[in-house]
Structure 1
Amino acid sequence: MSNDSRTQSMVFGLPWPELNDGIFYNDVVPHSDSGLTLVEFYSRKYKHSAPLQGWLQRIQNGQISVDGRVVKDPNEILSGDSVLVYHRLPWKEPDVPHLLEVLYEDDDLIALNKPSGLQVLPGGLFQQRTVLTQLCWSIKKQNPPLKGQESHPVPVHRLGRDTSGILLCAKTKVAKTCLAAYFADGTSLVGANSNRKAELGGTRKISKIYRALVTGILDEDKVVIDQPIGIVRYPGVAKGLYVASPSGKPALSKVEVLERDGKQNCTLIQVEIESGRPHQIRIHLSFIGHPLLGDPLYIAGGQPRCFDSEIVDESYAQDGGYHRPTNPVPGDCGYYLHAHRLVLSHPTTNEMIYITAPLPSALRTSDEANSSPESMYVSSAR
């Protein structure tokens, strides 16, 4: 990645190895657990990870160390403050894309066109096959970073695994701090505004516009959704699942209808989010009775479906459980949530930066579909 490639598109990414490097989990034994055996400690604390027999096998395989010493005896007695390390062996992660398109880059930041299916940060089954890993690998092929730069670019916000489009990353500590503040300020403005339906655009340093395809036909051309978003307990999600909740935190989304398709019973929309709550677009659209097309988790009302806890995969639930259907719209690939446009005040120059990610065919209007394919469009102006 060059230091300044504002007007020239570039694609980078290395193929994924067959297996990842595994992962190490650290624990410090609390004094309340002093006297437990090694297998008792793990089978009680991490029973969701494996049953007793599974932990016995892991210990006997030499995957756990106590204070730097590999222990294969499951009946080893533990002492308070002992340091335990469990090594999860390398595994083959699910197949995901590895190529990333650079939409904009300068000395401070880089904007990527993230493909659907690729996770941004490590979590669940995806520890290596992430955007962050590709960014780390890309910088290793370059010269040492300039003074003030991060060791590698880091994402300053998240996109869901199956959401495609613009992902903004910082290349310097100054840019990282500034961009993170932009996102936080936008969310806090919504929380502080007693009339959330008021226009906030004049005070914002960053704005994000998405394209989405939803089930059913929206009657109104424009809808403002100010439903709070909170957390509820949910199988397979240790920290809880985000849902529409009257006791949740303020959130604001502005929806505009672009095209209605009565034959397929779906509506193409544009969504501008004034806040950045997890899964906000999916929750808000389902809250008004129009979930993302094919969303298997969120249903009308912004609540989750009820699943048998035995079939809820942890990584599936952590990501919110949205996996685009294979081919629900004839002749298309099913890209139904896409971060399409981003406008921001540059973190160091204060010039306005406009970034657009090319639209998947399913998210183009009829006029756009009949014209030549959308090319990358990036401009900067004071």
Structure 2
Amino acid sequence: MSRPRPDWTPPARDGVSPSRVAVGNGPWPDVAAFLAARLPAVDDWPARLARGDVLDLHGQPVPAHAPCRPGAVFWYWRSLPPEPRVPFEVEVLHQDEHLVVADKPHFLPVTPGGRYLQETVLVRLKRQLGIDTLVPMHRLDLETAGVLLFTVQPATRHAYQSLLRERQVHKVYEAVAPWRADLALPFTASSRLQERPGEAFMQMAVVDGEPNAHTRIELIERLGVPPGEPQAGERAHYRLTPLTGRKHQLRAQLNALGLPIVGDRIYPVLWPMPAPGTPPDHARPLQLLAREMAFADPLSGLPRRFVSRRRLAMARQALPPG
């Protein structure tokens, strides 16, 4: 059974774009029963339906006891209990008709998911800029700060996202991690990464086989032993240039070299998530920064280069120009 493709999308509400759900085959007596069964995690469907917060394919409010036929499509807006505010701001580095470039802080997720909705870069930017069509061109981990690109127009989105698929984007990261005197730098780490099975799926494992992840590692500066932490050993400030784009590539490869990034809560040991409603320890951010992205614009052919104005708390370098 083919599902109807909506030719209209409701506007965002408070920066949150609408979601839609299609009705499959099933003995649903009415819309309320279908929604309760299809999306049981939402416990306020009766109230939403009474407020008119569930719409049909044409934008009309759906009564709770309306018939529910296979193939029907309903719009709704995701909502969560109040989220602890991430006390850091998103800075807009660049904006034009095709791209928005943000300077992401640590601890702020890129897109809604799980326990995060309002406290995400995407929703904050939609509210700040009033652009409902923003879509991230790529991802950064919640703990990682730095340059993050968003496309504006659906018609040109593919052209920009294809740059990443075809590896035509030059990325530069920085990290603070332990110092290894026996590791000759610069060095290109080449390894095969794959997800761990079961509950450890969050961690990528370095396994035998043809390498699928390559990163050039350069030394920016040796930082010495952090004051008051002699047990930590000497640390260094590194420049990382990924040549591929695997999940957790930088974090997993540095950890495999005995250089786990300072503040990493996934490598080498996976820490538990804070309890719902409990903010993370903002005093110890992951020392990983997406410093720079550069590419030839697929529409104009002109060179583009965007550089973060942020700095790693444990690094000593001055802010970069631009």
1:118 positional shift = 1.8
1:135 lines up with 2:116 in the alignment: no
Which has the larger strand fraction? 1
Tell me if the contact between 1:213 and 1:267 (Cα under 8 Å) persists in the aligned partners. Answer: yes
d(CA) in 1 for partners of 2:19 and 2:96?
Answer: 37
1:170 lines up with 2:170 in the alignment: no
The CA deviation string for residues 21-53 of structure 1, in whole angstroms up to 9 with x for no partner, is: 99987666655x7599x9999999889x6xxxx
Whichever residue aligns with residue 336 of structure 1, its letter is Q
Q: How does 1:360-371 map to 2 (within 5 A)?
A: 360=311, 362-365=313-316, 368=317
Tell me if the contact between 2:109 and 2:116 (Cα under 8 Å) persists in the aligned partners. Answer: yes
Mark the CA change 1:86 to 1:106 in structure 2 (over 3 Å): closer, same or farther.
closer
1:296 lines up with 2:240 in the alignment: no
Mark the CA change 1:23 to 1:107 in structure 2 (over 3 Å): closer, same or farther.
closer
d(CA) in 2 for partners of 1:305 and 1:132?
Answer: 26
Larger displacement relative to structure 2 (157-166 or 127-136): 127-136
1:110 positional shift = 3.0
Q: How does 1:1-382 map to 2 (within 5 A)?
A: 31=25, 68-70=62-64, 90-97=80-87, 99-140=89-130, 152-173=133-154, 175-186=156-167, 205-215=168-178, 217=180, 219-220=182-183, 221-235=185-199, 240-246=201-207, 250-260=212-222, 261-262=224-225, 264-265=232-233, 266-299=235-268, 305=270, 326-327=282-283, 334=285, 336-360=287-311, 362-365=313-316, 368=317, 373-374=318-319, 377-378=321-322
Which has the larger helix fraction? 1
Q: Percent identity, aligned pairs only?
A: 21
Tell me if the contact between 2:216 and 2:242 (Cα under 8 Å) persists in the aligned partners. Answer: yes
Tell me if the contact between 2:194 and 2:205 (Cα under 8 Å) persists in the aligned partners. Answer: yes
Mark the CA change 1:177 to 1:92 in structure 2 (over 3 Å): closer, same or farther.
same
Tell me if the contact between 1:340 and 1:357 (Cα under 8 Å) persists in the aligned partners. Answer: yes
1:289 positional shift = 2.0
d(CA) in 1 for partners of 2:218 and 2:191?
Answer: 17
d(CA) in 1 for partners of 2:75 and 2:128?
Answer: 30
Q: Tell me the residue number matched to 2:6.
A: none
d(CA) in 2 for partners of 1:271 and 1:314?
Answer: 33
The CA deviation string for residues 219-260 of structure 1, in whole angstroms up to 9 with x for no partner, is: 32223222222223444x9xx435125379822111112223
d(CA) in 1 for partners of 2:17 and 2:99?
Answer: 29
TM score, norm. by length of structure 1: 0.60
RMSD (Å), alpha carbons: 4.4
d(CA) in 2 for partners of 1:274 and 1:104?
Answer: 25
SS of equivalent to 1:110: strand
SS of equivalent to 1:183: helix
Q: Tell me the residue number matched to 2:59.
A: none
The CA deviation string for residues 269-317 of structure 1, in whole angstroms up to 9 with x for no partner, is: 1111112222221121112222111212221xxxx6386xxx786999x
Larger displacement relative to structure 2 (151-160 or 289-298): 151-160
SS of equivalent to 1:256: strand
d(CA) in 1 for partners of 2:289 and 2:300?
Answer: 28
Whichever residue aligns with residue 171 of structure 1, its letter is V
Q: Mark the runs of 5 or more structure 1 residues left unpaired by the alignment.
A: 1-19, 50-54, 72-77, 141-149, 187-204, 317-322, 329-333
